[in-house]
Chains A and B, each alone.
Chain A
């Protein structure tokens, strides 16, 4: 693998007594959540439990109504520095070629176009896509697009990497491959990673901490699990399966609660009458 220097260390995040609402709905309440430097933390939970809100707060793209988010012990007042974002879709600008996409943040930093494109081709080489440098995203598969996104992420040398279900639109095989790429980027860069996924298997393959989130009554952190499985992880191992079952039970319970919530609410209202 090409050796382009990466960030020296990951960032530390701390969520203190935060509360964020949208209208009358409280999206998330969390206190004392610390994301250690260089860790790979997964946010796991049903839709509507405030995972994306938490990620946006970590990115400094949104701000809590109450409490604070600290980045290396500094309260975030704007977009978090040295942070890269990866979404499920729309990560690459479709009007730019692969190399232009990767060169974009370098150009933002003031690098000359020729030099930035040269660097971009090196980063593309790291994800084995240098021969597709001149292709537009629409000419590439979903997996290739996400690899280019990773190449651009490496180019920005982030200390914090925030991923919102980045592989959920990919097929199983490509998803596994992307997980390996992500782990490689993580081990090379030592960046802190905070990632959302709905996939239990993915969470267990990647995380060294899983933050289980619940949506009732408001979005909140239900439990934090430290995953102390050896790497590379073996999904066939007993320990892996035991944690998987535990997480499965949690999500099933959450689903049942969410399905019965409207019935419980209407019963409450009837009792109040």
Chain B
């Protein structure tokens, strides 16, 4: 007997239902469509000579160039490649964020455990947080130099304030009932941190990491463009100075796609870690 599936629930099993589900629910499809539109407009602009191909090479040249193998630029010691530069920049962001997370976690724990430190530390962190990461670049170059440690320091300063404030807010926002019950169940101070406070602030921490990542990613690229001697930002500046506009475009696109991919990855980790959130 042929079964009849009435109403909305049956819609998705039909061919049109599947197609409409694919069209309206697939974020990836919309992502591809949006980029296809940009690429087509860009190509059309070049073809109609509205865009100067010397300044903005069309996608028909830029995309094959991006996939042409190991793209490099510069001479001698200054020579650098796309993959190498990307790895350097990612390494700096990762290291800076990790140190930032560790230091801000320590500060948040200290502030929670010792109320007197809250009065002392909080004003400092609140004053540091609004400073734009790029404002640290001149200071960093003078004090630390133009190498990797300087970039890591810029990332660290970019994330320290916001991450510390977010962690403190997450710790303050733990429902009182959890702490009362844990206390009542005879939980020791260490177990309270490890099994109650830490898991309770994972949602806030993950949001803080995601928000900080954008700041860190932009800060390190700005630093590399402003004077640090390696990384993705440095490669773009060198490409611009050597008038390799295809590489400039490839570099810019790489910044966008890598930033997007890492944000998606963090979202995925977030979803995995926070399956318990109601």
Contact = CB atoms under 8 A, between A and B. Distances in A.
Given A90-B175, A95-B202, A156 B275 contact: no
A264 interface: no
Contacts of B180: 59, 61, 85, 87
Given A91-B177, A138-B276, A138-B278, A84 B187 contact: no
B37 interface: no
A61 B177 contact: no
Given A79-B184, A95-B202, A104-B195, A90 B178 contact: yes
A79 B183 contact: yes
A136 B180 CA distance: 21
Given A95-B200, A95-B202, A95-B276, A108 B181 contact: no
Contacts of A156: 185
Interface in B177-195: 177-178, 180-188, 191, 195
A59 B177 CA distance: 13
Given A94-B276, A137-B276, A84 B184 contact: yes
Interface in A84-122: 84-85, 87, 89-91, 93-96, 104-105, 107-109
Specify the main secondary structure of chain B where it touches its partner. Answer: helix
B237 interface: no
A109 B191 CA distance: 11
Interface in A140-197: 152, 156
Nearest to B174: A90
Contacts, number: 58
B195 A136 contact: no
B186 A90 contact: no
Interface in B244-278: 275-278
Contacts of B275: 136, 138
Contact of A94 (B182, B184, B195, B277): B277
Contact of B199 (A93, A107, A109): A93
A93 B178 CA distance: 7
Contacts of B186: 105, 108-109
Contacts of B276: 94-95, 136-138
A90 B178 CA distance: 6
A90 B278 contact: no
A93 B184 contact: no
A79 B182 CA distance: 11
A108 B175 contact: no
Contacts of A138: 275-278
Nearest to B191: A108
30 contacts: A61-B183, A61-B184, A79-B184, A85-B180, A85-B181, A89-B177, A90-B175, A90-B177, A91-B181, A93-B178, A93-B195, A93-B199, A93-B200, A94-B277, A94-B278, A95-B199, A95-B202, A95-B276, A104-B185, A104-B195, A105-B185, A105-B186, A108-B185, A108-B186, A108-B187, A108-B188, A108-B191, A109-B186, A136-B275, A137-B276
Interface of A: 59, 61, 79, 83-85, 87, 89-91, 93-96, 104-105, 107-109, 136-138, 152, 156
Given A87-B177, A95-B202, 6 more contacts: A87-B180, A87-B181, A90-B175, A93-B199, A94-B277, A138-B277
Interface of B: 175, 177-178, 180-188, 191, 195-196, 199-200, 202, 275-278
